[in-house]
Structure formats: C-alpha cells, structure tokens
Structure 1
Amino acid sequence: MKPSSQTLFWRRLDIVGLERLTLTSAENRIVADATTICVEDGGFRMDHRWELTPDWSVQSCIVRKEGVSRSVQLVLERYGNGWKVDGLARPDLDATREPDLSITPFCNTFPIRHMLAANQDHLTLETSFIDAAAMTVSRSRQSYRHLGSRHFHYLDLGIADGFEADITVDDMGLVIRYEGLFERAEAQ
C-alpha cells in the first residue's frame, strides 16, 4: 500500500486559534502531525504527533508546547493495558482507552471511529486527558451518542463534567464542526 496523505485545518470558534494537521496512512500505521497556534494561556504554539494502528488505536502522542516564556514536552505512550507519561508508568491511567488532547478536535475521531466500527449507537469511555494549558495528563470519562448519519453528541463525565456539544464528522470520522469550539477550514 502506497502511503496517502491529507491536510486538514480547524479554526477555533471560541477564541483566536488555528490548527493544521497532516494525516498520513500507510499499510501498518497512521501518523498525524499537527501544529496549533492559539491565543489562549498567553499565546502558544503546540506541535503534536500521533502514531496510530491501522484501526485508529493511539500508540503514542508527543506534544511540544512553545509558550511566551517556556518550552515543554510531554510524551504519552501505550504500555500494556495502560500508559506511560514521559517514560514513567502511570497506573492511574490503566484501562483508559484513548488520549484526548484538549486543544484539538482530532481526538474525537478515535471514539467515533471505534463506535462506527462496532456499529454502536452509544459509547462511554475512560480517556487519558492531556490538558494543553497545564501540560498534564489525568484520567477522565466521556460519552458519545450517535444521532444519525454523521452527527454525534458528546458529553463530558469527568474533567469538564456536564459539558456537552454536537459534533459533525466526515466519512472518515474527522470533525467538520464541533459545536461552539472548532470548525473545519478549507485551504485557499
């Protein structure tokens, strides 16, 4: 299989921000490389690289944040039934299914694709939530409900308990619109 690649852009709807993500699929893995520029938290640039299996299960995520006064990196890697953060096992993250990085709608693709593959109308899962502002990882819980066609309802049951939004995706499960937060932008 010859690698294929596509580039996506999302703009923030709540604050000034833009993300560029290049998704490359090959026979044995999927890689996503993204850069997000945002005015939140004093303004920053965040680069994130995702390594996934062909069935869209995250194997690793490297996040680099360049802020006004400092640069920070965080590495999250699948480790057995759990995760390592910066090389250290994190038992508090055991059995979390996928990561969720707070500043990108890309992470919503993982549970949505898992739901579609299993022909489920509802999915509640534990996640390894990466807080972009603090550059920390903690356990969180989320729920997705398939509303029909390419429409889903998201409900946070953990870190941002009670937050909810409707999400519209394309044929690949990639976000087109995330109510109130993100919207796909086309390159000109």
Structure 2
Amino acid sequence: MITRHLTRTWRVLPGEGYATAWADLTEGRLSARGRAVGLEPEPYWVTYALETGDGYVTSALTVTVETASTTRTLELRNDAGRWTVDGTHRPDLDGALDCDLGLCPLTNTMPVLRHALHRTPDAGPHDFLMAWVSVPDLEVSPNHQTYTPLPYEGQGARIRYASGDFRSDIAFDGDGLVLDYPEIATVVAGRRDG
C-alpha cells in the first residue's frame, strides 16, 4: 500500500497566523499532525493529532491550545458513529463522519476524499454533519455543511463550501488538500513525498 507524505503550510487570515500540517494518506485513510499560531483574539498556539479509519471517517482528534494564561486540551472520538468529547457521549454529534477544526484547512480534506469531490466536478451538492471545534476556545458543536463541486480548469478542483449564511469557493489540489480558502487560508508552502 502506497503512502503519500504531504506537508502544507497555510497563512490563516482570521487569526493573523499560520498553520502547518504533516499528513500521511493511504488508500482510504488519513493520519495527520499539525501546529498553528494565531494572534486573534489573543496570541495562541494550537497542536493537534488527527486519525481516520476506513473511508476517511474521523476516529480521533486531540487538540491542545496554549495562551499566556491557560492550556486547554480536547479529546474528540468517534467510535462507530458514537461521538465523545473528553470521554462524555455527545448524542448531538452522532451521525457525523468528520470533525472540522476551526481555522484548520486540513480538516476540509476528509469529505472531499471520501466522495472524490476533487475529481468529479458534476457530482452535485453533498450535505454533511460535522463535529465542529472552534479555536481557540475548543468548544464542540454540531455543524451542517454542504460541499458542491464546481467546474474548474486545470489540476485540482474548486468546491463551494456552505454553512449557514457563510459561503466560499475553495480551491483544492490533486491530493484533496486546500490550496486557497478565500477569507480563511491560502497555502504558502507544500511538499509531497511518495
């Protein structure tokens, strides 16, 4: 089984910071770790580890946020559709397949890869329930999102993301990772091994 080792660094606009992810992609699975720094609403550091099972379905996300005054850690787990947050069952998240870590472009990858949205521009809209993790407070809530592939010339894809009143046409590369997420993040460096 071939593993692709991917590294991406994004400039993150809302937090006035940067995020780097080191990801390993194999057929149907993603394993990643990342770090980010933000300046708003106060300077903070984020570290995370993400694991998926088959079909790029989130199995675990561990996140730590450090500020001048505190360090917070979150453990989010999905066991066959039953979600827990720091060990406590969260039935409002049950049915979600993915986590979505705020200001982390990597977590837009799982639904794109699962449904090959970066390879099927006429696939139509796909609706998802996500376990949304806000940063830097690490509050977890259910979030409904829609991904709609758009016609795109060149390599990669453009996918319209919608959640509530927010909409953005996100550019993805051929590996299914975010290149440009208007108003959120844009890639500034990348590497692929394997």
Match of 2:132 in 1: 129
Letter of the 2:180 counterpart: R
Q: Distance in 2 between matches of 1:27 and 1:152?
A: 22
Question: Could you state the TM-score of these two structures normalised by the residue count of structure 1?
Answer: 0.89
Deviations 1:61-86 (Å, cap 9, x if unpaired)? Answer: 00000112100000001122221111
Q: Distance in 1 between matches of 2:43 and 2:150?
A: 35
Higher relative contact order (CA 8 A, sep 6+): 2
Number of residues of Structure 1 aligned to a counterpart in Structure 2: 184
Q: Distance in 2 between matches of 1:90 and 1:15?
A: 28
Q: Which runs of 5+ in 2 are unaligned?
A: none
Further displaced range: 17-26 or 55-64: 17-26
Match of 2:162 in 1: 155
User: How do 1:137-152 and structure 2 match up within 5 A?
Assistant: 137-149=140-152, 150-152=157-159
Q: Distance in 1 between matches of 2:107 and 2:8?
A: 14
CA RMSD of aligned residues (A): 2.2
Q: Percent identity?
A: 25
SS of 2:113's equivalent? helix
Deviations 1:140-167 (Å, cap 9, x if unpaired)? Answer: 10111110240111111xxxx2011110
Match of 2:40 in 1: 40
Q: Which runs of 5+ in 1 are unaligned?
A: none
Further displaced range: 168-177 or 16-25: 16-25
Question: Could you state the TM-score of these two structures normalised by the residue count of structure 2?
Answer: 0.86
Letter of the 1:12 counterpart: V
Q: Distance in 2 between matches of 1:179 and 1:131?
A: 18
Q: Distance in 1 between matches of 2:22 and 2:126?
A: 27
Match of 1:175 in 2: 178
SS of 2:160's equivalent? strand
